[in-house]
Amino acid sequence: MRGAAASLFAFAAALGACTVVPPADQSPAASSRTANPASTPAAVAPAPSPTPTALPAGSFTLTGEMTQGGWLRGTAPVGTSELMLNGKSIDLGEDRQFLAAFDRDSGPVATLVAMRSDGSRVTKPLEISPRDWRIEHINAARRTGGPSEAFMKIRMPELEAIGAARARETGAKGWRQDFIWPVKGRLSGLFGSQRIYRGEPGSYHSGIDIAPGAGTPYFAPADGVVVLAVQDFSLEGKLLIIDHGMGLNSAFLHSQELFVKEGDAVTRGQRLGLVGSSGRATGPHLHWSLKWNDARLDPLLFTGPMSD
C-alpha cells in the first residue's frame, strides 16, 4: 500500500508541473457557470445597423458647353457622397459644385451618376454634340522613323515634369470663374485641327494660337496657381502651366519672357508674360491649351468669341 501511495503522489506531482492556463473566458469560474446551464445568461444579439435616412428626390443643375472639347459646371443632388462621369470618380466640392469636361474625340453620350448617402443613385445622361474640325488632307506620306534617341533623352524628363505639374492639386478656385482672353490678336491656329496624310491621321492641334505680335503681354484667364514655369523646354520653349483647380489647367507656350514663378498664386487679369517664339515655333504667337484631367479642351468654348 505504501508503494501504491507513493506512485499516486508522483503522478499528481507530474500533473502539477504541466498546468494549462485556460483562456480568459475559460477560467474555472467560467467553466463552473458553463457546467450549470441554469446560471448561463442569454446571448445578447448585436444591435442592427441604423437604416440610412431616405433623401428626397434629387436632380443635377448643369450649365456649360456640352460638345466635343467642351465643359460643364454643375451642382450635384443633395446627399451626394461620390460623383462619377462615365464610370470614373470626379472631384466634388463641399458645396456640391463640380466641373466636368469632354475630350476633343468624346463620344456622343456621357453619363453622370451621383452616389447618395442613403444608398440611392441619381443618373443623368448627357448628349455630347459632335464638332466639324478643320481637317486638311495631304497627298504625301506621313514622316516615318520618329524622334531620335538623342532627342528622347532630352524630351522624356520634360514630359515627366509636365505630367507631374498637371497632376498637382492646389485648391485653386479659378474653375468657378468666367474665363477671359489672355491676349487678343489674330487666331493663327485652332483647337482640333488636323492633317491626314494619305489616309493616316497626324496629331491634332491641342490648343489655340494667338498672334498679336512679339513682346505683347498676356494675362491670366482665371485665378490659379503656377505649377510649372520653365525657360528652355525643347518644344515649348518658355513654358507656363497654371492650375485652376478641380483638375483644370492652362498651358502657355513659346513665351519671350515670364513674370511669374512656380508656386505663385495668380488672379484673373494678372500679367503673366510676353508673347514670343521660344522653343519650336515658326513665328511669335501664344499657344494656349486647356486640359481637364486627361481631356483636351477648346479654349474658345471657355471665353466665347473674341471682341474688340
Domains, the chain, ordered by start: 61-127 (2.60.40), 135-303 (2.70.70.10)
Residue 308: pLDDT band (50, 70, 90) is low
- For residue 216, the model assigns a pLDDT of 98
| Residue 160 Cα distances to 156, 170, 254, angstroms | 6, 19, 19
- For residue 11, the model assigns a pLDDT of 33
Quick: pLDDT tens for 54-74: 888 889 999 999 999 999 999
Residue 112: pLDDT band (50, 70, 90) is very high
Question: Mean pLDDT lowest for which of 21-25, 98-102, 241-245, 263-267?
Answer: 21-25
- For residue 45, the model assigns a pLDDT of 66
- Higher-confidence position of 125 and 47: 125
Chain centroid to CA 77:
21
Quick: pLDDT tens for 1-41: 444 444 433 333 333 333 333 344 444 444 444 444 444 55
Residue 242 pLDDT more than 50?
Answer: yes
pTM, two decimal places? 0.81
- For residue 43, the model assigns a pLDDT of 60
- For residue 41, the model assigns a pLDDT of 53
- For residue 22, the model assigns a pLDDT of 39
Quick: pLDDT tens for 177-216: 999 999 999 999 999 999 999 989 999 999 999 999 999 9
- The stretch 92-98 carries a mean pLDDT of 96
- For residue 53, the model assigns a pLDDT of 78
Quick: pLDDT tens for 278-304: 999 999 999 999 999 999 999 999 999
